[in-house]
A = this chain, B = another copy of it.
Amino acid sequence: MVAERAGTSVATVSLVANGKDAGHVSAQNAERVRQAIAELGYVADHAARALASGSSNLVVFVTPDASNPYFGAVIRGLRAGLGDAYQLLVSVTGEGDVPTAAALGRLAALRPAGVVVDAPSEAFLEELRLDTALVLLDAPRLPTTTAEAASGAVAADRRAVSVDFDLLGGVRALLDHLHVLGHRQLGYLGGRTATDTFLLRRLLLEREAAVRGMRVHADDRAESIIDLEAAAAAFVDSWPRWRDAGVTALVCATDTHAYGVLQSARAMGMPVPGELAVVGFDDLASSVVSDPPLTSVRLPGEALGRAGAEQLLARIEGRTVAPAPVIGADLVIRASTIGR
């Protein structure tokens, strides 16, 4: 430990460097140590510190996909919420993949102070055996019984906290909007990841549509990863079935999926919303300049990240904290449903 150039012992330096000098180190020595640290640009070796103390100031964010701007917003929120005390590092899983046990083991080996996981699946959570603070984002419990499904209430028996969007509110606003416009047969283009939030979007859509005398046509072929081209292809594949079923409005798992639909629709000469109204989830920034501009359920990723960071900090520091708020999900209406 080079910084003992301050003329004190290693222990004293360690104390000061970790801000634990209150009432342990004289103000004079503390000051000299701080100077020495500043002069040498000293940073405690992460490995040694983690090994000795059994923890670190690392927070790992596990996200299934980084190419969706939505995740950029979440990261921004996390960074803002975490502040300077913790260093955020992002672990990106392959597109459409769920983190594996092996990948998790390697993350655990880093001994992070906390882990944040976005849009996991139930299977992933089963497998998760982390002894660090953990917060889930957009990880709604799926209803497991028909009673639950009917009531919308879900047993809250999960190990980790989850900060969630008000998907139900968003779906209701969406369906009310489409209902007023006269749509009764809807299609759903899903996200092909083992992610529960996509599944829930579909379930909520089906349940709430039924209440309104509408019908949702969804199946396992009508889905793709979060990628414009993949979504465009999935739409081309599914459209004949939807058309035959009389579908006049299509709900997409994300805006990126919706972009793919817009592209295919244009290629097929299909007017949007004339022949098919299109809606997405996310409300990406670019949805205001798409052709046509996209109606979308806005999912404020930054607010989600910020709330997630708060929950995580409380857990890391052993504080109790108010339960995470449900992040509002408003419908933003644009020309892809109402025309110009």
Chain A residues within CB distance 8 Å of chain B: 41, 43-51, 56, 58, 60, 65-69, 71-73, 75-76, 79, 87-92, 94-95, 101, 103, 105-106, 108-111, 227-229, 256, 259, 262-263, 266, 284-286, 288-293
A92 contacts B92, C-beta separation under 8 Å: no
6 A-B pairs with CB atoms under 8 Å apart are A67-B72, A67-B76, A69-B69, A229-B285, A266-B289, A286-B290
Q: A256 vs B73: C-alpha distance in the bound complex, in angstroms? A: 15
B51 contacts A106, C-beta separation under 8 Å: no
| CB nearest to A73 among chain B residues | B67
- Kindly list chain B residues whose C-beta atoms are within 8 Å of the C-beta of A65: 72
- Kindly list chain B residues whose C-beta atoms are within 8 Å of the C-beta of A72: 65-68
Closest CB in chain B relative to A129 CB, distance in Å: 9
| CB nearest to A108 among chain B residues | B43
Closest CB in chain B relative to A42 CB, distance in Å: 8
A262 contacts B285, C-beta separation under 8 Å: no
Q: A111 vs B94: C-alpha distance in the bound complex, in angstroms? A: 24
B285 contacts A44, C-beta separation under 8 Å: no
Q: A90 vs B263: C-alpha distance in the bound complex, in angstroms? A: 31
